Amino acid sequence: MAKPGTSVTPYWELTFDADGDVDGPERDRLLAQVAERGVRDLIVFSHGWNNDRSGATALYRRFFAPVPELVPGARLGYVGVIWPSMRFSDEPIPDFPRSVAAVPVAAGRPAPRPALDEDTRRALLGTFPGRAAVLDRLARMLDERPDGTAGLAEFGRLVGLLVDGEGRQGAADTDEPGEPAVVGGDPVAVCGQFADALAALGPAAGGAGFALPDPWEGAKELLRQAAYYAMKRRAGTVGERGLGPLIGRLAAAAPGVRVHLAGHSFGGRLVAFALSGLPAGVRSVKSVTLLQGAFSHYAFAARLPHAPDRSGALKDRHRRVDGPLVCCHSHFDAALGTFYPLASRLAGDDRSCAGNEIAAVLGPRWGAMGHDGVQAVADTARLDLAAALAGPLPASGCVNVDAAAVVRRGGAPAGAHSDIVHPELARVVLAAGRIT
């Protein structure tokens, strides 16, 4: 039977903490049961932005649902990775219920909705434990928007306190600065540039229409990027120190099982960094599928186009896959097409970009996997979704699949970043693994 709340069987969950340590009983159950359940192909899926186990399980249930009918004869098993991440509640996920905070009523009319609702504040506290007073002050400032640059400067200082408490160690993309824009930068200028980017996305994104953008519109984005920074580092740590070594143990316990890794957003980063954590000689990973991967598109590059003496953090790691590494991307992903490169660019040494130069900021140096695919890796295949599904996919190497035909829905500010629950994408995972 399937585990309650899931759509497939056999299904296991693996829960990791922020340091990459896995829940012992869950690990032992998987290692003991995979072989005895006759599993030949094991799909291991990691969520990205998410606030709780129920949200992750809902994603896995819906994504996996069409798989049994697509490959009725396959001896499949499924793993849902649970790791501590967070999502701002104003980032809608297509076809999933949206978090709605209670709206207080004053004098018979709804009071203004706070900039940070209770769900988001609770998630932020989980991300930055011990920082409740700082988060309360940030929430008040977002609601009150004090005049002048001093208020924004203080807001930036407080966001910096959150980041300082997160720590800087752990997995990082070597071709990216590794710190959010608030660290060492001018928060007033950064908030202004985030506000410009929001305005460019239109009024629905929080922009001011034809009025000059209010820098306070960008202040929330600065806080959002600080949280994403924490998630980004954590995803790499969980993958490299947690999931990778566990796959090694699985290969020893069930040597005939073929493992297929899939990840969404920072979950894509997690499964990619798991390749760094694989023990030497382990060849059980037969495919990797990245769905709107939220990490540098140069991560696998042997040489960076803008710095030929440097490489990406995952240089040649795709060669540890005994099969293809498939990267699904979409230009409808505003989170990765606009805010990811802007935040990465602002975190670099040159922070002088003015608000009217936003388009120039979003250049190839700062791009993300989920926006335009793997870059600067020789012989990378490039396909649209129809061609990928017509198959067969290349047997090895990197493969970019433009999934914009289905990954296209979603509201501001993230755009289509979370629009991944489509049978076509489930078919891509199966095609990458040659699961029939």
Say if CB 260 and CB 289 are below 8 A apart.
yes
Is the pLDDT reported for residue 239 higher than 90?
A: yes
pLDDT band at 217 (very low <50, low <70, confident <90, very high): confident
Arithmetic mean of pLDDT, 156-181: 63
Arithmetic mean of pLDDT, 338-367: 53
Q: Answer with the residue of higher pLDDT: 105 or 53.
A: 53
**Torsion sign (Cα): 158, 162, 168, 171:** negative
pLDDT for 51: 72
Cα–Cα dist 382/405, whole Å? 15
Cα–Cα dist 278/269, whole Å? 15
Is the pLDDT reported for residue 72 higher than 80?
A: yes
Q: Answer with the residue of higher pLDDT: 55 or 96.
A: 55
Q: Between the ranges 249-253, 308-312, 410-414, where is the mean pLDDT highest?
A: 249-253
HEC readout, 115-161: CCCHHHHHHHHHHCCCCHHHHHHHHHHHHHCCCHHHHHHHHHHHHHH
Say if CB 261 and CB 234 are below 8 A apart.
no
Cα–Cα dist 21/151, whole Å? 40
Q: Shortest CA distance to 403 belongs to which of 331, 336, 297, 315?
A: 331
Is the pLDDT reported for residue 107 higher than 90?
A: no
Cα–Cα dist 358/372, whole Å? 18
Q: What are phi and psi of 166, to 5 degrees?
A: -80, -25
To which H or E segment does residue 383 belong?
Answer: strand 381-384
pLDDT digits (tens, 9 = 90+) for 119-149: 899 889 988 988 999 999 999 999 999 988 9
Q: How does the average pLDDT of the chain come out, rounded?
A: 85
pLDDT digits (tens, 9 = 90+) for 183-215: 556 888 888 888 887 787 765 555 444 456 788
Q: Between the ranges 57-71, 100-114, 123-137, where is the mean pLDDT highest?
A: 57-71
Arithmetic mean of pLDDT, 19-25: 97
Q: What are phi and psi of 289, to 5 degrees?
A: -125, 120
Q: Answer with the residue of higher pLDDT: 206 or 256.
A: 256
pLDDT for 17: 95
Q: Shortest CA distance to 176 belongs to which of 316, 327, 317, 367?
A: 367
Residue 400's DSSP bridge partners are 327, 382
Q: Name the 3-class secondary structure at 174.
A: coil
Q: Shortest CA distance to 236 belongs to which of 54, 16, 31?
A: 16
198: tokens are 């929001």
pLDDT digits (tens, 9 = 90+) for 304-337: 998 899 999 999 999 999 999 999 999 999 888 7
Arithmetic mean of pLDDT, 98-115: 51
DSSP secondary structure code for residue 192 in this structure: H
Say if CB 216 and CB 141 are below 8 A apart.
no
- Helix %, strand %, coil % of the chain (to 5): 40, 15, 45
Arithmetic mean of pLDDT, 281-294: 97
Q: What percent of the chain has pLDDT over 90?
A: 57
212: tokens are 């000059």
Rg (CA), the chain: 21
**pTM confidence score:** 0.86
Q: How many CB atoms lie within 10 A of CB 317?
A: 19
Q: What percent of the chain has pLDDT over 70?
A: 81
Cα–Cα dist 406/251, whole Å? 35
pLDDT band at 226 (very low <50, low <70, confident <90, very high): confident
